[in-house]
Amino acid sequence: MNGCRVIKSGGGGSEESSRGLHYERGISAESVDAHGLCMHLGLVPPGGVAAAHEHDGHGAATDILSGRAGVDFGRALEHRLEMGAGDFSYIDAGVPHRPFSLSETEPVRFVVARTDPNEEESVVLLPELE
């Protein structure tokens, strides 16, 4: 029956993103024919830093489940926010950013929801900001 579906934990597969983050696939256009929403579990390893990037045409929200995370953002990554378990963040479309783990011993686990329903979202890598 269409209209309500469950993706079991680990049932959507996992991937290493072009940004250096690990994702367990969840809800997307590919998994449940979602429209306007993609949601995955993510992991930043201890001491891990994602590649600087921006989301072309869509926003992204995160909920930190465990660990301590930071994100540098802005045209030159000149701003910084820090967050921990239970904190939410939102990044507007087109805002350069680079998330990272604040711990050398503990990973960051998070839920990410994007307004682009595709698993292979439109991300623009920004190596000039590294």
Phi, psi of 29 (to 5 degrees): -60, -40
CATH number at residue 75: 2.60.120.10
Is 16 inside a domain boundary?
A: no
Q: Which DSSP symbol is given to 15? A: E
Is 8 inside a domain boundary?
A: no
**How would residue 1 be classed by pLDDT, with cut points 50, 70 and 90?**
very low
What are the tens digits of pLDDT across the range 104-118? 999 999 999 999 998
What are the tens digits of pLDDT across the range 71-109? 999 999 999 999 999 999 999 999 999 999 999 999 999
Is 89 inside a domain boundary?
A: yes
CA 43, 49, 53, 56: dihedral to nearest 10 degrees? 10
Is 17 inside a domain boundary?
A: no
Is 97 inside a domain boundary?
A: yes
